[in-house]
A and B are shown apart, each in its own frame.
Chain A
Amino acid sequence: MTEEILRVENISKRFGGVVALNNVSMSVAKGETCCLVGENGSGKSTMIKIISGVYTPDEGDIFIGGNHYKKLTPIESIREGIQVIYQDFSLFPNLTVAENISINQQLASGKQFIKWKDINRIAEEGLARINISVPLDVTVETLSTADRQLIAIVKAVLADARILIMDEPTTALTQKEIASLFKIIDDLKSRGISTLFVSHKLNEVTEIADRTVIFRNGVKAMDQDAKGLDVKTMEFYMTGRKIETESISFGKVDITSEPLLQVENLNLKHGYFDINLELKPGEILGITGLLGSGRTELALSLFGVMPADSGKISVQGKEVKIRSTEDAIGEGIAYVPEDRIREGLFLDQSINDNIVVGIIDRMVSRFGFLKNTQKRIEGENWIKRLELKTPTGALPAKSLSGGNQQRVVLAKWLAENPKILILNGPTVGVDVGSKADIHELIRSLAREGLGILLISDDIPELMQTCHRILLMRGGRIAEEFKREEITENQLNTELIGASAVNG
């Protein structure tokens, strides 16, 4: 048996009345790539924070390299070689690559003056250790997400990491970048550095894991060798139910009907060029492309956030001017944004208030007073309709899991009763169970006659919802596919092919 480097036993952690972890044990062996999988709210993050010393468990023991801890402080955790790479990487954007890499050593040395020669030497050594090259003298803010992640990894390796914990490391990466990240993880493995890889992208897990641990509702649902473990089995353990993908019913689109939305020769400088598209009632039109392909800019133009420079937008055959979000909403266009937390939600405000914010002007009495009761009832109707899991709509939106938060954003827009719904990455950061529900909701909305523009780079998602898929590349619509005429693999190849063109 291989040497065990980390073991936690019978860990429990409660927050107020909520049990985040209940009697969970797990271990990581030397050089092992262990994937920790689970839906949002299953206890993954809590476990990471316990291992890194941020939280103290209510019960249980932590063993690292043979040392026993009841309480682990962050400093002890770092001394034991546990390094966490958070989603924001904790880098200093205004400092150079070299400074970022060497800052820990500089601080640890306790010297009052900085030797620039040392900074560059430490940074070069670090980069050489994982065999990558990044220019040393550029500031980190100019780097791509993938490069920033590499810098964070280099920092961790230089701090003599024995276990590298990566929290959802692939969220903002392209397929190519993910592949090179996996190569680095393998490389670290050959040097005996273990990786605890936290993710809910199951196809990635099958690719990288030696062993897979699945959490569900604060307990360990599965812990086994990753060989022969398929996505379906993992989904079952994650959600406790089978996800039906076969029995999808797509609404019929009447191709002779008048288009809901028509876009002709739309242009936006530094965004997209010469866009033409048509959306019929009941149709779900997918728009895909890599980051920077212009897909988000196009959506923002249709919603009035970044008005187009030239071109024509028509809604139900009538040409319209969309210069602001109010214009767009006035034309019955709704937009569910990419960045749910920043653009979609008022995290500290109640769920009800989040739902009614767009229609608040309709909830005013003759004397100008708000109808607070109607507001509450409207909110609770939507909570029921979208099967939001919450005891009451009076709780703040931040109390919800990712999937339920996305339902709040959807509810906000459905309450407006839109004709055209633009969804940008509707299931990013949403767990598998909620994802299937949201897809069914999207299809049912289309069956009711809404026109839906679905922007996504999640290929299975596009294949399970869209009637047609447009592929954007360098700001132009490069290709159009009918769902029946293409397979997931072909679409994947096309999308990655686009990355070669984009550079």
Chain B
Amino acid sequence: MEPKPAKTSMVNRGLFSMRPVVAQIDRQTILLLGVFVALVAFFGFTRDTFLTERSITSMAFQLPEIGVLALAMMIPILTGGINLSVNAISNLGAVLAGLFLVKLVPQEVVSAQPALYVLLAFSIVLVIGVVTGIINGLLVGYIGVPPILATLATMTFFTGISTGLTGGKTVTGFPDQVGYIGSESFLTIPIPFIIFVLVTVLTYILLFQTSFGFKTRMMGSNPTASMFSGVNNRTVIMRVYIVSGIFAAITGILVMSRTMSAAIEYGSTTYVLLTILICVLAYIVPGFGNVFNMFLAVLILQVISTGFHMVLLGVRGSSFFKDFSWGVLMILIFIINYFMRGKKAQE
């Protein structure tokens, strides 16, 4: 019945074969690389301050938050779902951890062993990521609520909890150790950026080197067929939203650490829209996603954001122009994609 056992040892010497890494480079990668180079060249020539160490470092500190959050958005999209509650999860985690440090544990206890309590606080954020992920997973996978409605509801719900606990006020007064991740560098590379790279690599491994990722992508392609193939769609969905929740929680830690505060309004819906924009740029569709393209898309958005900030420094309504430029970029990418893939779609 079974075909002869395959000889795999020759090629498969490493932990996992490297072939699929190369397969990550596709047409969209080339398009995004082109856009990235063009933008860097444009801002680099027009602004002396753009390609300086200071500006590059500041970009590397800023982009990891939205980058990790975008990966939290990407994984549900691969299954044909979406997670609108990512930012609400970040803030809920940060708020709870913040309250733990400031209100729940007496200050003298915290200051006696600050490192321990900061680690505990960060663990709380991650636990919140798992719990919120389970709630989303239950709603989508087991009760069958359409993901866009389920996560819209949980977005409001999680934000509501944060608001109730803080009364809408910003939580501050953390021990200095909280700020370590958000403000320090390791070998001149900002630690948030290292974390972003690590999460990106982790996402790649999850999606392309584990059976969970394989099932996730197959389910995204055709959930009926995956069910008929013996894939337990519910478990896959549950895991997808838990991973999404954990990634959102990591963003919560990054934000908390950089700003030394926690608040419900941080990022708000703009962040959710930006993560979707990144997924669109990276051409993430159910069943197919490219982590490398996600990385490029995040870089592009940061370059636009910083570049426009410099160009329009002091101009009234400059923040409006940033949103405007993101919108223009999104439409441009749609048009380019139409011409690149239009012919293929016709056949």
Chain A interface (Cβ < 8 Å from any Cβ of B): 15-16, 303, 305, 324-326, 329, 335, 337, 342-349, 353, 357-358, 360-361, 363-365, 367-374, 377-378, 381-382, 385, 412, 414-417, 448
Do the beta carbons of A349 and B12 come within 8 Å of each other? no
Contact of B3 among A348, A365, A378 (CB under 8 A): A378
- Chain A nearest Cβ from B167, distance in angstroms: 45
CB-based closest 5 A-B pairs = A381-B3, A377-B6, A346-B221, A329-B230, A373-B12
- Take A325-B230, A357-B229, A369-B15 as given contacts and tell me if A346 and B6 are in contact as well, using a CB distance cutoff of 8 Å: no
Contact of A361 among B211, B213, B347 (CB under 8 A): B211
Question: Total A-B residue pairs with C-beta atoms closer than 8 Å?
Answer: 109
Cα distance, A476 to B6, chains bound together (Å): 46
- Which residue in A303, A346, A373, A385 is a CB contact (below 8 Å) of B225? A346
Q: Whose C-beta in chain B lies nearest to the C-beta of A364? A: B211
In the complex, what distance in Å separates the CA atom of A382 from the CA atom of B4?
Answer: 10
Asked if B228 and A344 sit within 8 Å, CB to CB, the answer is yes
| B17 and A414 form a contact (CB under 8 A) | no
Which residue from chain A places its CB closest to the CB of B7 in the assembled complex? A377
Interface residue B53 (Cβ < 8 Å from any Cβ of A) = no
Interface band, chain B = 35 or more
Q: Is the CB of A371 within 8 A of B218?
A: no
Q: A325 touches which one: B11, B210, B222, B227 (CB < 8 A)?
A: B227
Q: Tell me the complex Cα distance, A378–B4, Å.
A: 9
B316 within 8 Å of A (CB atoms): no
Task: Assess the B1–A448 pair: CB atoms within 8 A.
Answer: yes
Query: In angstroms, how far is the closest chain A Cβ from the Cβ of B222?
Result: 5
Among A369, A414, A416, contact of B16 (Cβ-Cβ < 8 Å): A369
A343 & B225 in contact (Cβ 8 Å cutoff): yes
Q: Which residues of A contact B214 (CB under 8 A)?
A: 353, 357, 360, 370
Whether the Cβ atoms of A335 and B288 lie closer than 8 Å is: no
Task: Across the interface, name the chain B residue whose C-beta is closest to A356.
Answer: B214
Report how far A35 CA is from B329 CA in the complex, Å.
52
Query: What is the minimal beta-carbon distance from A58 to any residue of chain B, in angstroms?
Result: 13
Which of A373, A415, A416 has a CB less than 8 Å from the CB of B8? A373
Query: Which residues of B does A touch, CB under 8 Å?
Result: 1-4, 6-8, 11-12, 15-17, 19-20, 205, 208-211, 213-215, 217-218, 221-222, 224-232, 287-288, 347
**Cβ of A378: which chain B residues have Cβ within 8 Å of it?**
3, 6
B221 touches A349 (CB 8 A): yes
* With A305-B228, A381-B6, A414-B1 as contacts: A348 and B288 at CB distance below 8 Å: yes
Closest residue on chain A to residue B227 by CB atoms: A325
Indicate if the CB atoms of A346 and B222 lie closer than 8 Å: yes
Residue of chain A at shortest CB distance from B230: A329
Within 8 Å by CB of A385, from B3, B16, B217, B226, lies B3
Q: Tell me, in angstroms, the Cα distance from A382 to B16 when the chains sit together.
A: 23
Residues of A within 8 A of B227 (CB): 305, 325
- Residues on B with C-beta less than 8 A from A344 are 225, 228
A335 to B228, CA, bound (A): 8
Q: Please, how many angstroms separate the alpha-carbon atoms of A353 and B216 in the complex?
A: 12
- Quote the shortest CB–CB distance from B215 to chain A (angstroms): 7
A133 CB to nearest chain B CB (Å): 37
Q: Which residues of A sit under 8 angstroms from B215, Cβ to Cβ?
A: 357, 360
Interface pair A337/B228, CB less than 8 Å apart: yes
Q: Are B8 and A374 in contact (CB under 8 A)?
A: yes
Is the CB–CB distance between B225 and A342 below 8 Å? Answer: yes
Alpha-carbon distance A303/B230, docked complex (angstroms): 10
Q: How far is the CA of A303 from the CA of B229 in the complex (A)?
A: 11
Question: In the complex, what distance in Å separates the CA atom of A138 from the CA atom of B210?
Answer: 51
Give Cα A346 to B217, complex, Å: 10
Task: Tell me, in angstroms, the Cα distance from A91 to B230 when the chains sit together.
Answer: 34
**Could you tell me the distance in whole angstroms from the C-beta of A400 to the nearest C-beta in chain B?**
15
Chain A proximity of B234: nearest CB distance (Å): 10
Residues of B within 8 A of A346 (CB): 218, 221-222, 225-226, 287
How far is A303 from B227 in the complex, measured between Cα atoms in Å? 11
Cβ-closest chain A residue relative to B285? A348
Name the distance in Å between B255's Cβ and chain A's nearest Cβ: 31
Do A326 and B222 have beta carbons less than 8 Å apart? no
Best-buried of B1, B3, B225 by chain A (most CB within 10 Å): B225
